[in-house]
A and B are shown apart, each in its own frame.
Chain A
Amino acid sequence: MILAMDTSGGTVVGWRDATSGRTAGYLSENPRGHAETIGPAIAQVLHEAEVTPQQISVVAVGMGPGPFTGLRIGIAAARAFALGRGVSVTALASHDAIALAWYLAGGEGELLVATDARRRERFWTRYSGLDADGLPVVVAGPALAPATELPAAAHAVVDEPISPDTLTELARRAVAAGRVGPAQPVYLRSPDVTLSPAKGVTG
């Protein structure tokens, strides 16, 4: 069973039983308050799915792009949940979920996905379609651009929220194909920091 979450925009948590196709989900479009909502969101989804945490074998999370403040909440939660279950985290590109929804709904051809990046800018990724594994093919991006200077594309989906069901479906396809998503959070704004490895403090 798959538990997926994404806080690159609002708060999205989804569950899916890959065998039966049953799903459950939580979506809040509020771009704030992720730290408050992520706990009840995960609990509610598991409750609605009528499953225990022990039954979750895949933990997936959207790695962005997204405004850093919200994005880190989902990533921290997913990593901790995965640690609690003894599984590794499956990384997903947040825009891929939006693209997948569009193509699954019958969309064809080139697609530009754009989401809010604050400061009157947008994150964008350009796609050409789905590949043999049913995963969106990235042609350009993700990148950051002023809202008024987005690249041209045949079709565009702007500020569309991620749906829990599409997120878990994306996770299912990615795991089935053995595909690895972005290893690091996609912030697209510097600076980055390297950490000294955790050390035990004696005494």
Chain B
Amino acid sequence: MTWALRRATAADVPDIMAIEHASFPTDAWSEELMLAEVTGPNCEYFVAVAQDDFANPQAPIAGYAGLLVAGEQADLQTIAVREDLRGRGIGRLLAGHVLARAQQRGAREIFLEVRADNPVAEGLYTDLGFTRIAVRRNYYQPDGVDAHVMQRPLTEGSPTLVQTAGKAEPLVLGIETSCDETGVGIVRGSTLLANAVASSMDEHARFGGVVPEIAARAHVEAIESTIAKALGDAQVSLDDLDAIAVTAGPGLGGALMVGVAAAKALSIATGKPLYAVNHLAGHVAADIIADGALQLPAVALLVSGGHTSLLLVRDLAGDIELLGETIDDAAGEAFDKVARLLGLGYPGGPAIDRMADQGDPSAIRFPRGLSKGDDLRRHRYDFSFSGLKTAVARWVENRQAAGLEIPVADVAAGFREAVADVLTAKAIMACQDHGITRMLLAGGVAANARVRNLLAERCAAAGVDLVVPPLSLCTDNGAMIAALGARLVQAGNAPSGLDFGADSSLPVTTVQMP
């Protein structure tokens, strides 16, 4: 029997209390206190379940442990194993995980209290590197038993995070409908098995851009067949899946809702746990498929039609910081608008590229937004492309007014250079400022060769490793969502509930919705 660990939720408290009362008959915590501990912001509680039952939220709990971290000190709040399952290493598993987690969160030492009349437990802790540092007389009431206070430093050589926390290589199906693509992908851990996309791109070309309601209607028609295609390509059945993941936001509300509704229904019908995830974190997760595993921390530059953000990723399963983002237009949007301005068609990125490749990027210098003086000070990692867009518009209008010809190739090249320049410069600056040597590129604009090449150049010069996902994983797709779901399962995150909605402005700091 293999045991797996996951984060405890409020729903686990009754089962936890059963073990609590049995393990600590004279001084058990109250249910209110336990609930506050488990759901509170300061503690992390873990429960152990049979690995085969990991996906089942009603699986019996074999044991639990609680961790509190305050700065550089941590406390093992409590640990208990069901009486009939003791002696199988579950306690050791839980304690080891707590130690590793405490260290990961920056604690330098960890404390605990153990009853003086529990030599078995104290023996386990001694094995794990704790030493007794103090005795509290008559600490446990009403028994009047002493507490032995134990301490362990957390330095190199601490146990690594339990690899079986959550299944090592979960098979996950991901659904992505945040914009114009209906994407369904399947991964096994970090291995890509299927990436099916039904695109209404051609129809959108007619309208000169994304027309969301058409997109949302298209999603409803496409969702079934795209799921079926992904399963067929991966040669797995719904029953084989360990979990389902779906984009809950950010994105187009109406489009998101289709994926959300389908994912919930599929989860209920198949009994597979559901993870409601963040689209931006999904883009970063595309790099897992590229790279096998994400080496963190890393700075992520996410550039697409709807987003331009710089992220500091410490833990994809729950620690992403937004360093900066666009304060007006997204880079991809700027490409679309300037392409339209120049009469170059949709989508703008490839159209600008074709022209720009024939032009001279240094012929016309267009402004790099938020790159100087006060702007840079107040918006160090933010982007602004609106000024660039209007500068191009003004330049073209002035030329036309003067009766001069427009050197479209040079304009396209100059515009593209301005975008690539400011994106890459700020991304490198973010790495250097934070002492980070790893960069992840994500989003549809990653398909732009100039952005990619300039970034690779500058990363190499700055000693920063660059990871770029395969082109098919840069644009919105379901495989990246599946990869993110797999990461959350591996990290031991509890599944999401069934009542989350679509959130068109879900912040990147919320990787998974409850």
**A residues adjacent to B (C-beta < 8 A):** 33-40, 42-43, 46, 53, 56, 68-69, 72-85, 185, 187, 191-203
B32 within 8 A of A: no
B155 within 8 A of A: no
Whether the Cβ atoms of A35 and B268 lie closer than 8 Å is no
Q: Which residues of A contact B195 (CB under 8 A)?
A: 200-202
* A36-B500 CB under 8 A given contacts A77-B261, A185-B220, A197-B198: yes
| Bound complex: CA A86 to CA B435 (Å) | 52
Within 8 A of A (CB), among B194-215: 194-203, 213-214
Q: Which residues of B contact A73 (CB under 8 A)?
A: 257-258, 261
Count of inter-chain pairs, beta carbons less than 8 A: 155
Q: Which residues of A contact B238 (CB under 8 A)?
A: 83-84
Q: Which residues of A contact B198 (CB under 8 A)?
A: 195-199
* A79-B226 CB under 8 A given contacts A36-B501, A84-B238: no
Whether the Cβ atoms of B213 and A38 lie closer than 8 Å is no
Q: Which residues of B contact A192 (CB under 8 A)?
A: 214, 217
Min CB distance, A1 to chain B, in Å?
Answer: 13
B262 within 8 A of A: yes
* A68-B266 CB under 8 A given contacts A80-B227, A195-B222: no
* A196-B260 CB under 8 A given contacts A36-B501, A43-B498, A84-B238: no
* A33-B262 CB under 8 A given contacts A83-B224, A185-B220: no
B229 within 8 A of A: yes
| Bound complex: CA A77 to CA B263 (Å) | 8
B254 within 8 A of A: yes
Whether the Cβ atoms of A80 and B263 lie closer than 8 Å is yes
Chain B residues within 8 Å of chain A by Cβ, number: 56
| Bound complex: CA A83 to CA B269 (Å) | 8
* B214 to chain A: closest residue by CB: A193
Whether the Cβ atoms of A195 and B218 lie closer than 8 Å is yes
| Bound complex: CA A35 to CA B186 (Å) | 24
Main secondary structure of the interface of A (DSSP, over half): helix
Min CB distance, B120 to chain A, in Å?
Answer: 42
Whether the Cβ atoms of B266 and A80 lie closer than 8 Å is yes
| Bound complex: CA A85 to CA B228 (Å) | 13
Identify which of B196, B261, B499 contacts A200 (C-beta below 8 A): B196
Q: Which 3 A-B pairs have the closest CB atoms?
A: A84-B269, A39-B498, A39-B264
Q: List 23 A-B contacts (CB under 8 A).
A: A39-B261, A39-B268, A39-B497, A39-B499, A42-B268, A68-B216, A72-B217, A72-B219, A72-B261, A79-B265, A80-B266, A81-B269, A83-B224, A194-B203, A195-B198, A195-B221, A196-B199, A197-B198, A198-B196, A198-B222, A199-B197, A200-B195, A201-B472
Whether the Cβ atoms of A196 and B202 lie closer than 8 Å is yes
| Bound complex: CA A203 to CA B227 (Å) | 19
Whether the Cβ atoms of B225 and A203 lie closer than 8 Å is no
Whether the Cβ atoms of A198 and B226 lie closer than 8 Å is yes
Whether the Cβ atoms of B216 and A72 lie closer than 8 Å is yes
Whether the Cβ atoms of B214 and A76 lie closer than 8 Å is no
B491 within 8 A of A: no
Whether the Cβ atoms of A53 and B262 lie closer than 8 Å is no
Whether the Cβ atoms of B268 and A46 lie closer than 8 Å is yes
B271 within 8 A of A: yes
| Bound complex: CA A38 to CA B262 (Å) | 10
Whether the Cβ atoms of A200 and B224 lie closer than 8 Å is no
> Other CB < 8 Å A-B pairs besides A80-B224, A195-B199, 5 of them?
A39-B498, A46-B268, A79-B224, A196-B198, A198-B225
| Bound complex: CA A122 to CA B118 (Å) | 73
Within 8 A of A (CB), among B345-395: none
Q: Which residues of B contact A74 (CB under 8 A)?
A: 261
Min CB distance, B85 to chain A, in Å?
Answer: 28
Whether the Cβ atoms of A76 and B199 lie closer than 8 Å is no
Q: Which residues of A contact B258 (CB under 8 A)?
A: 72-73, 76
Whether the Cβ atoms of B269 and A80 lie closer than 8 Å is yes
* B500 to chain A: closest residue by CB: A36
Q: Which residues of B contact A35 (CB under 8 A)?
A: 256-257, 260-261, 501-502
Within 8 A of A (CB), among B168-200: 182, 194-200
* A80-B213 CB under 8 A given contacts A38-B265, A200-B233: no
Identify which of A36, A83, A84, A202 contacts B499 (C-beta below 8 A): A36
Whether the Cβ atoms of A37 and B499 lie closer than 8 Å is yes
Min CB distance, A39 to chain B, in Å?
Answer: 3
| Bound complex: CA A192 to CA B203 (Å) | 10
B477 within 8 A of A: yes
| Bound complex: CA A185 to CA B196 (Å) | 24
Most buried by B among A34, A42, A195: A195
Identify which of A39, A72, A195, A201 contacts B200 (C-beta below 8 A): A195
Whether the Cβ atoms of B197 and A197 lie closer than 8 Å is no
Whether the Cβ atoms of B223 and A76 lie closer than 8 Å is yes
| Bound complex: CA A40 to CA B260 (Å) | 13
Q: Which residues of B contact A38 (CB under 8 A)?
A: 261, 264-265
Whether the Cβ atoms of A76 and B265 lie closer than 8 Å is yes
Q: Which residues of A contact B182 (CB under 8 A)?
A: 198
* A35 to chain B: closest residue by CB: B257
Q: Which residues of A contact B262 (CB under 8 A)?
A: 76-77, 79-80
| Bound complex: CA A11 to CA B266 (Å) | 18
Min CB distance, A72 to chain B, in Å?
Answer: 5
Most buried by B among A37, A43, A72, A85: A72
Q: Which residues of A contact B502 (CB under 8 A)?
A: 35
| Bound complex: CA A74 to CA B195 (Å) | 25
Whether the Cβ atoms of A69 and B265 lie closer than 8 Å is no
